[in-house]
Amino acid sequence: MRFYKISTLFLGIFLALFFCLSCQNSDKKEIDSNPIKLLFGGDILLDRGVRVEIEKKGIVSLFDSLKPIFDEYKSENDFILANLECPLVNQNTPIPKRFSFGAPTHYADSLKNIGFTHLFLANNHTNDHHRKGLSSTFYSLKKNGIIGIGYGETHSESCKPVFIEKENTKIAIFSVVRVPLESWHRMENKPSICQASTTELVEKIKQLRKKEPQIIIIISLHWGTEYKFLPKAEQRKEAYLLTKAGADAIIGHHPHVTQSIEFVNDKPVFYSLGNFVFDQEGELKDRCILTGFEIQSREINSILIYPLQIKNAVPQFFAEKDSVKKSIFEKKLKILSKGVIFEKVLKPNTKNYSSFLIRNK
């Protein structure tokens, strides 16, 4: 009897050790061998003054100065995203509104060659040429291997996230427009861009989080007030509700200037990245940031920002002669983002390169 009890005890210890080792091995299997890197940019216009520059040198030339950044996001685990603020159409059929933009569909091929993998379509200009123009934009991108986010053949479909999945990490990305749209009505059974309300978006996030607890959820929002450097009170409330519901990050655009960065419920919120490729100047409309996320094993491990200036529609690093402009812009960004720590990142042998690691205080 005593022998039986001792044998049972040893068997129990053995099984417990075996179980623990199995758990450790299981945890190791869930560690991604390579991180996923996402680079986000703000508003891209391909018409008006930008089109003048394109006709001189081509679209690809607009991004030549950013090669040191884009080269960091070139692996099969890397993705480059931005807000396309211009429909791609071959017929000029604008809706009645103050500003209507348009660019030829063959520009999509150049956007792909530059390195863009996804473009946000839920904004106040992809609808500038009616629903046919909206569909033309989405399918022109798709034909060239770029995924448009925030578009659907119905409104419900437009509000579905796009998924990126590598190894053990899965990312869901929503694109939603939150500003009023001129000469446009939300219609359920027509080609649409996502106009989900805060309440609707919160519910979608909660449902997705419940279904897939480990998923990374990123929300692109076209929102805010143009040319203002701080978000409105209702935006801050919306950011709180979205992150509380389960959003891991918010990427904002529309104001045409770079706004504050904030950590809400410990999640990064970029209220506005500012213009990316645009023809506006003055009052910091020709300053912007890009932001890069490194995601590994279901977590956002690090966040980089790249401060840039825009000259003749071309985004670029600040040259030495522009050091005062650079200093003013970076100082303003830090003052606006008072709850954020900025750590300078140096990259040897790269002229004028500038970036910061950011984290919550």
How many Å is the Cα radius of gyration of the chain? 23
Buried b (16+ CB within 10 A) or exposed e, 94-132: beeeeebbbbebebbbbbeebbbbbbbbbbbbbbbbbbe
Beta strands 118-120 and 147-149 are parallel
Looking at the predicted structure, is the pLDDT value of residue 5 above 70? no
- Return the percentage of the chain with pLDDT > 70, whole number: 92
Q: How does pLDDT run across 68-110, given as a tens digit for each residue? A: 999 999 999 999 999 999 999 999 999 999 999 999 999 999 9
- Does 13 map to a domain? no
Residues ≥6 apart with Cβ < 8 Å to 85: 43, 44, 45, 101, 123, 125, 126, 278
What pLDDT score was predicted for residue 346? 87
pLDDT digits (tens, 9 = 90+) for 221-261: 999 999 999 999 999 999 999 999 999 999 999 999 999 99
Q: pLDDT tens-digit profile of 208-225?
A: 999 999 999 999 999 999
DSSP one-letter code for 102? -
Which residues have a Cβ under 8 Å from the Cβ of 195 and sit 6 or more positions away?
Answer: 122, 155, 176, 177, 181, 186
Residue type, 40: F
User: Which tokens in the block code for residue 231?
Assistant: 């978000």
CA pair distance 151, 158, nearest whole angstrom? 4
Does residue 15 lie within any of the structural domains? no
Q: pLDDT band at residue 30, thresholds of 50, 70 and 90?
A: low
10 falls within a domain: no
Judge whether 178 lies within some domain.
yes
- Residue that the structure tokens 């030339």 belong to: 61
Q: What is the CATH number of the domain that holds 83?
A: 3.60.21.10
Cα separation of 161 and 222, whole Å?
15
Range of the domain at 172: 37-360
The two tokens of residue 333 are: 């960004």
**Residue 256 placed within a domain:** yes
> Which amino acid would we find at residue 31?
I
Q: Quote the crossing angle between the two packed helices 198-211 and 233-245, to the nearest 10°.
A: 20
Structure pTM? 0.92
Is residue 21 domain-resident? no
Asked if residue 298 belongs to a domain, the reply is yes
338 occurs within a structural domain: yes
The answer, yes or no, to whether residue 28 has pLDDT greater than 50, is no
Q: How far apart are CA 132 and CA 128, in angstroms?
A: 10
Report d(CA 254, CA 275) in Å as an integer.
8
Local confidence band at 17 (pLDDT 50, 70, 90 cut-offs): very low
Q: What is the residue-wise DSSP string for 131-168?
A: HHHHHHHHHHHHHTT-EEESEESSHHHHTSPEEEEETT
- For residue 111 the two structure tokens come to 């956007």
pLDDT at position 25: 43
Looking at the structure of the chain, the number of domains it has is 1
